[in-house]
Structure 1
Amino acid sequence: MLPVILAAMFMAIFDSYVVNVATPSFEHDLGAGQVALELIVAGYAFTYAAGMVSGGRLGDIFGHRRLFLLGMLAFAVTSLLCGVSQEPWQLVVSRLLQGLAAALMVPQVLALIHANFRGAEFPRAMSWFGVTTGSSAVLGQVLGGVLLKADVFGLGWRVIFLVNVPVGVIACLAGLRLLPENRSPRRTRLDPVGVIGITGALALALLPVILGRDEGWPIWGWILLLASVPVMVLALLFERNLTRRGGDPLLDVRLFHNRAFSNGLIVNSAFMSAFASFSFVLTLFMQDGLGQSPLSAGLTFAPLGVVFAITAIGSRKLAMRLGLRVIVLGGVVAAVGLAVLLGELHWLDGDINAGWLVLPMAVVGLGYGLIIPSLIGAVLRGVAPTQAGAVAGLFTTAQQFATSIGVALLGELFFAVLGPVLTGDYIGGAEAVAAVCLALVVIGAALTAAMAAQQNRAARPKAEEPALAG
């Protein structure tokens, strides 16, 4: 059952990254211009992130199994549409629809894990979830380069989308057979105002963040970003009032009263924005600064992915013993890797090559292999099954939003330090971003240490009660 569930997560993240290596092909074969290229790459992330809270809540209402299968089937169909596109606008529309399909199926992944894996099985499932999220991002770049170079059946770039079709069909058939139905016993209704308000606010915020840098941060982007704030405030006020009236809100704002959940979102944002920015800038640095091909750059990331996967699987017992402290340990390890990378960039300067990057990148992978599975488990633990879909959608939305913000802002920092592309200071740009990523990881580790200390203080009186009673 678990491989079927995780197939959705792999496909969604893989398709976020695989298009990066195919953009020259879109430009050459389809005649896609700059705007079309931006929408092919970023449009998927936009609809994916904007729709996840609604997708998660739909799973709570209509059943996570049903929405998972519907989303998986829709993802396969939209992947087929991407693969047969003949014009740039067709591929843009298909990618937007593909993001919506991902928004339906991805929140059900964590919800199904939360509902069907208990006790010792839950940490094991979360370890494999961590492996999937990390490896799919790396493999998106590596396998994307391999598939393009192999030119399977003469399909060119189309194969990166068409490969999803048989995988999606097989996963749907297996899901029909293996996944149990776990629809909430309480009859709930969809909150259309919440769907429009919260999804609209997320869309207003995400669109300028995703497209702003490539468009030169136009005035319309700032207007949309500012407009997202009052729209979200009004939507959350409506959700709070609906809850008080006994209705079924899209997002139960009482979730934010749960400190483990709200603090976990902040920590998750710090760690994920650092990792996404680190990966994005290093890819640019290796390809444009060091002159590597997309495939070579992807292979340089491979040790990070391998170490991440091994650590995520092998650290399950350590995570059970240390609790939140394993996230702190992972943060320290990742910080060491970033500090070594920073030192190499500073001291080696023009003598640096891709070989020097492998070790610190692997150390960062080791740290994140400790962080990701435990962080997600800490946020989900204690959440009621009837809210699992909405929480999973919100968590994944926060993760995607932090990723987009990190890439946009630190990407802007990289290009600001870089200067003119042909004669730019690639090492200085990478060094500046590595320093900020190091700071974000340290902040994430410090916040987690504070959460662990608070958790220990809360548990101490409960442990002392039997002794006092005796």
Structure 2
Amino acid sequence: MQAVLERPSEAAYRWRWVALFVILAVEVMDLLDSLVTTIAGPVIRAELGGSLSLIQWLGAVYTLSMAIGLLTGGRLGDIYGRRRMFIIGAAGFTLASLLCALAWSPGVLIGARAVQGLFGALMLPQGLGMIKQMFSPSEQAKAFGAFGPVMGLGAVGGPILAGWLVDADYFGTGWRMIFLINLPLGIFAVVGAFKFLPEFRSERTPRLDLAGVALAAVGAFLLLFPLVQGRELDWPAWVFVMLALGVMLFGIFGVYESRRERRGLDPLVTPSLFRKRAFTGGLLLGLFFFAALIGTGLVFTLYLQVGLGYSPLKAGLTTLPQALGTVAGFIAAGAGLSERLGRKLLLIGTVIMGLGTIGVAVTIRAAGGDMAPWHLIPALVALGVGMGLAMAPFFNIVLAGVDDEETGSASGALTSVQQLGGAFGIAVLGTIFFAMLPGAVGEHVDAAGLRPALTAASVPAQAQPAVVTGIRACLEDRAAQDDPSAQPASCRDVENGGESSPAVGAYVQEAVHAGFRDATVGSLAVALLLLVAAFGLAFLLPRQGRPEGEGH
């Protein structure tokens, strides 16, 4: 069966609610794959090798390639048909997931993740576009409202699922199962798309803006690569040149798109969209909001797994209160808060998220090395509730002023900026965390605290200052090096200085825990600043989303 709809004003499509379920299936795949490597990253790096930046790249390369491809993906749906592009994207994403599961080296896995992101960029914008054409204006709010619970549960349920699959080690697959789980979902999406998704024919077929694609792709890469890799390369001058060139290219991209439209050609992103305050404000808000959300997830996972030694499953389960809070937030929003409060709900949700972030930071600092998962329950519940309240009205408000002919471009740009925000958050917060860690660990190695342990280890008093200095240098070098399994030269100098004694070992471990704690709290402070920026940008949005029954 292949239904064909030419205009959204025709009779409502019969299978629209079943089609929505198929569209949500690929949303689940995307959300899981954008988050699962955060939990599984330390285990993947331990098995495949590579530096600590591999953990960042596993998430960043996926979201970056998706951000680049989403601009093109939306336009390709306008050109070749949304149903066709949806099927190609879902099939390619499923095959790329299989390649990820079979990866035998860090390079192969990163490459497969990039392919995943590109095919994901092909399928995701088609779903948003088809919803706007399958559903009447009065039903669109309900249809878009279904994305909220799926996005929220995927965002916090993904880490739990990843931890469970990694620890369960089904059939000896270990971390590879987090990608194999996509196979049944992908097959369902492809089969369901063939049977239930309609094809939409445009009255006018636009042409693909290849130069615009190149400018956006290169600009995004020039911005993200230095942020992820700069710390590991010790910030050479050319890294900052790349950042400047990336900003320049996006400026050139904007000028080029405007000139292309004035010449009567089809732009990659319709410039008129950026004259709509709701849409432009929504793009900026999404960038900062998702940067804070995804970046915080990475930092929190590093603290739990590397700092406290939690297993992937325990780290994932620690986020369960956030999942429950998210469900509660979406239920409250769906019970009428979105319609009554509109933009105010976005503001309230963002404030609650900020308070939850502060609560997590305060709890981590107060609990110290004795931190247990239950300590974080109140703060994580607040974080989840705020996330649910803020995300529920997001799409309806941002897309309120988008006209039908702008649907493909708007959908691609909006979802692209979401993904770019995630990559930006991973790059910035991950880099800040790793940059702060060596100094934070070193600050907790002091002579007064270490002297009793050295005395118990029979280290002569006159030798203790040198041993303290050596241990501090060793721990700082361990925290700063790219490969945590390697032994820095500074550590070999203190091997016989008493570090192997139980008392000194316990002190060293506590210093490492305290360093991770301080680096985490510092990174959360940056995430809070991102949420403050999102709060301010929310005032650019209209007070209400599109009223039910209002057409374009």
TM-score w.r.t. the length of structure 2 is 0.76
Q: Specify the alignment match of 1:154 in structure 2.
A: 172
- Report how far residue 349 of structure 1 moved: 4.5
Q: 1:46 touches 1:207 (CA, 8 Å); kept in 2? A: no
Match of 2:206, SS state, is coil
- Which amino acid in 1 is paired with 2:324? V
Which of 135, 158, 161 is the matching residue for 1:140?
A: 158
Match of 2:202, SS state, is coil
Match of 1:407, SS state, is helix
Aligned mates of 1:37, 1:328 — CA distance in 2: 32
Q: Specify the alignment match of 2:146 in structure 1.
A: 128
**Measured at CA, do residues 153 and 260 of structure 1 come closer, stay the same or move farther in structure 2, by a change above 3 Å?**
same
Aligned mates of 1:442, 1:33 — CA distance in 2: 33
Match of 2:377, SS state, is helix
**Measured at CA, do residues 77 and 361 of structure 1 come closer, stay the same or move farther in structure 2, by a change above 3 Å?**
same
Which of 323, 338, 360 is the matching residue for 2:357?
A: 338
Q: Specify the alignment match of 1:55 in structure 2.
A: 73
**Measured at CA, do residues 46 and 254 of structure 1 come closer, stay the same or move farther in structure 2, by a change above 3 Å?**
same
- Which amino acid in 1 is paired with 2:408? G
Q: Specify the alignment match of 1:462 in structure 2.
A: none
- Report how far residue 299 of structure 1 moved: 0.5
- Which amino acid in 1 is paired with 2:305? Q
**Measured at CA, do residues 24 and 273 of structure 1 come closer, stay the same or move farther in structure 2, by a change above 3 Å?**
closer
**C-alpha deviations, 1:317-336, integer Å up to 9, x for none?**
21012111111121222233
Q: Specify the alignment match of 2:527 in structure 1.
A: 437
- Which amino acid in 1 is paired with 2:266? D
Greater CA deviation, 413-422 or 93-102?
A: 413-422
**C-alpha deviations, 1:346-403, integer Å up to 9, x for none?**
5444554321112111111101101112122211122123322221221122222222
- Which amino acid in 2 is paired with 1:246? G
Match of 1:247, SS state, is coil
Which of 247, 251, 259 is the matching residue for 1:233?
A: 251
**Measured at CA, do residues 355 and 216 of structure 1 come closer, stay the same or move farther in structure 2, by a change above 3 Å?**
farther
- Report how far residue 14 of structure 1 moved: 1.0
- Report how far residue 296 of structure 1 moved: 0.6
Greater CA deviation, 235-244 or 285-294?
A: 285-294
Q: Specify the alignment match of 1:68 in structure 2.
A: 86
Within a 5 Å distance, the mapping from 1:71-470 to structure 2 comes to 71-316=89-334, 317-418=336-437, 419=439, 420=476, 421=479, 423-424=511-512, 425-449=515-539, 451-452=541-542
Match of 2:201, SS state, is coil
Q: 1:42 touches 1:211 (CA, 8 Å); kept in 2? A: no
Within a 5 Å distance, the mapping from 1:1-80 to structure 2 comes to 1-27=19-45, 29-30=47-48, 39-80=57-98
Q: Which runs of 5+ in 1 are unaligned?
A: 460-470
Q: 1:67 touches 1:105 (CA, 8 Å); kept in 2? A: yes
- Report how far residue 313 of structure 1 moved: 4.1
TM-score w.r.t. the length of structure 1 is 0.88
Aligned mates of 2:412, 2:228 — CA distance in 1: 19
**C-alpha deviations, 1:406-454, integer Å up to 9, x for none?**
333333333344333463423322322333333332342343246456x
- Report how far residue 182 of structure 1 moved: 2.3
Match of 2:268, SS state, is coil
Greater CA deviation, 228-237 or 251-260?
A: 228-237
Cα RMSD of the aligned pairs, angstroms, is: 2.6
**Measured at CA, do residues 217 and 295 of structure 1 come closer, stay the same or move farther in structure 2, by a change above 3 Å?**
farther
Q: 1:274 touches 1:437 (CA, 8 Å); kept in 2? A: yes
**C-alpha deviations, 1:158-206, integer Å up to 9, x for none?**
3222221222111111111111222322221111221222222222222
- Which amino acid in 2 is paired with 1:178? F
**Measured at CA, do residues 207 and 51 of structure 1 come closer, stay the same or move farther in structure 2, by a change above 3 Å?**
farther
Q: 2:39 touches 2:316 (CA, 8 Å); kept in 1? A: no
Greater CA deviation, 56-65 or 338-347?
A: 338-347
Between structures 1 and 2, the one with greater helix share: 1
Aligned mates of 2:413, 2:48 — CA distance in 1: 36
- Which amino acid in 2 is paired with 1:171? A
- Which amino acid in 1 is paired with 2:241? I
Q: Mark the structure with the bigger radius of gyration.
A: 2
Number of residue equivalences: 456
Match of 2:199, SS state, is coil
Q: 1:345 touches 1:427 (CA, 8 Å); kept in 2? A: yes
- Report how far residue 253 of structure 1 moved: 1.6
- Report how far residue 228 of structure 1 moved: 1.6
Match of 1:409, SS state, is helix
Match of 1:381, SS state, is helix
